[in-house]
Amino acid sequence: MNKLFCILIQLFLLSSLQARVLPVGKGKQFITIKTAITQARKGDTVMVYSGIYREKNIVLDKPITLIGIDYPVLDGEYRYEVISIKSSGVTVKGCKIIQSGISSMEDFAGIKIYNCRDVVIRENILENTFFGIYSQYGTNCTIEKNKLTASQKEEQQSGNGIHCWKSDSMRIIANEITGHRDGIYFEFVTNSIIWRNDSEKNLRYGLHFMFSSNDSYIANIFKNNGAGVSVMFSHDVKMIHNYFEENWGDGSYGILLKEISDGYIEHNRFVKNTVGIYMEGTSRIQMNGNVFERNGWAMKIQASCMDITVTGNNFINNTFDMATNGSLVLNTFNGNYWDKYEGYDLNRDHIGDVPYRPVSMYSVIVEKNPPVMILFRSFITSLLDKTEKVLPSLTPENFKDAFPLMKPLRL
């Protein structure tokens, strides 16, 4: 009898500890989200049904799941942070979050992670938030399949779409980000991946890296942003299978690399950017299998760069293939296809018999005197470039591809 009584007590305790579902909405058990959260225990699910909820700053301070049914609207009324996550193990899914507070003193966000881990933010819609999703000291968090849209016209009035600061092991996957200051922003973020995101029409950068190392960004689209992608003061960054298009404007580019080292740029496509890649103070970068097509400059590599290896890439229909600001070249260019190459292949090994020099005399002159660009496509510029090929004087002697390909690679 005593044994049976103990078993019944254990079953009762187990049933009382089982995760519960707490419904919120008109005619449901709870009218407000905050009341349901107060009653929730570890592992419970707060299920929010369709409607408009104007609750000042919803704080998730226990490991629960907040799920929206038919995208309930959580409205910050342009005054508050909408959801603050202050517990590890929280999931937020299926909510429409709008109109967070805007401030020059506080980083209000639609959803903000505060110093916790194992958080999942998935399949939410965020509209007209200052910062969209913000991670502060987050660890091992997933931000996936969210749609973030903002409509501010000035950088001062707009935060970043997905902003990660001093975080580790983050997964930023398949989000759509439009209209923010920077689409995705990483500062002091390590061991993280940015994968299959679409970052378009943001005011400044599609992606902005600062002091963030051992990270990868793979298979993303960065299109029609103010200045493309900026990767600065970082090391061991992998940039693979991304697409950069129509990042046009004075000082704009597909990628800016400044003071970075030990990275890989492979199998990316750069189409119709002012500059495909701009490098300054960069070292030990492997570039392979990329396509540069219809850019103003395919690449600008400053003399402060060294040990850049550029091999097996296609350069097609760019106004200028390369530009540099000095005569010192400490980089390697071999086995690329250049559509401007006019050499020959007598032994038919598909490799040109004479080297190709991708820096034209006119590009050197334009680099030093930008107004000269007005003479582009004139007879005099063609004459200058032909003369330079015969008697090099301004272009760096060892800036050349010794083994240019006769046909483009199939990438």
Q: Is 216 helix (H, G, I), strand (E, B) or coil?
A: strand
Q: Which helix (H) or strand (E) holds 201?
A: none
**β-pair type (147-149, 125-127):** parallel
13: DSSP letter: H
pLDDT by position in tens, the chain (length 411):
455 544 444 444 344 458 899 999 998 999 999 999 999 999 999 999 999 999 999 999 999 999 999 999 999 999 999 999 999 999 999 999 999 999 878 899 999 999 999 999 999 999 999 999 999 999 999 999 999 999 887 877 889 999 999 999 999 999 999 999 999 999 999 999 999 999 999 999 999 999 999 999 999 999 999 888 999 999 999 999 999 998 887 778 999 999 999 999 999 999 999 999 999 999 999 999 999 999 999 999 998 999 999 999 999 999 899 988 877 788 999 999 999 998 898 888 999 999 998 887 656 656 666 665 555 555 565 666 565 555 555 566 778 999 999 999 988
- Closest alpha carbon to 279 in 319, 312, 217, 322: 322
Q: Is 356 helix (H, G, I), strand (E, B) or coil?
A: strand
Dihedral angle sign, alpha carbons of residues 60, 130, 121, 45: positive
382's tokens: 């063609």
For residue 366, what pLDDT is reported? 61
For residue 15, what pLDDT is reported? 43
Q: Which helix (H) or strand (E) holds 384?
A: helix 379-390
Q: Is 10 helix (H, G, I), strand (E, B) or coil?
A: helix
For residue 24, what pLDDT is reported? 96
242's tokens: 């991304």
Report how far residue 131's alpha carbon sits from residue 177's, in angstroms, rounded to the nearest whole number: 11
For residue 399, what pLDDT is reported? 85
Q: No. of H helices and E strands in the chain?
A: 4, 38
Report how far residue 350's alpha carbon sits from residue 347's, in angstroms, rounded to the nearest whole number: 8
Report how far residue 18's alpha carbon sits from residue 304's, in angstroms, rounded to the nearest whole number: 62
Report how far residue 369's alpha carbon sits from residue 238's, in angstroms, rounded to the nearest whole number: 34
The structure tokens 């190392």 sit at: 213
For residue 277, what pLDDT is reported? 97
Q: Contact 85/142 with Cβ under 8 angstroms?
A: no
Report how far residue 74's alpha carbon sits from residue 121's, in angstroms, rounded to the nearest whole number: 15
For residue 154, what pLDDT is reported? 81
Q: Is 157 helix (H, G, I), strand (E, B) or coil?
A: helix
Dihedral angle sign, alpha carbons of residues 283, 258, 340, 372: negative
78's tokens: 């342009």
Dihedral angle sign, alpha carbons of residues 310, 311, 314, 316: positive
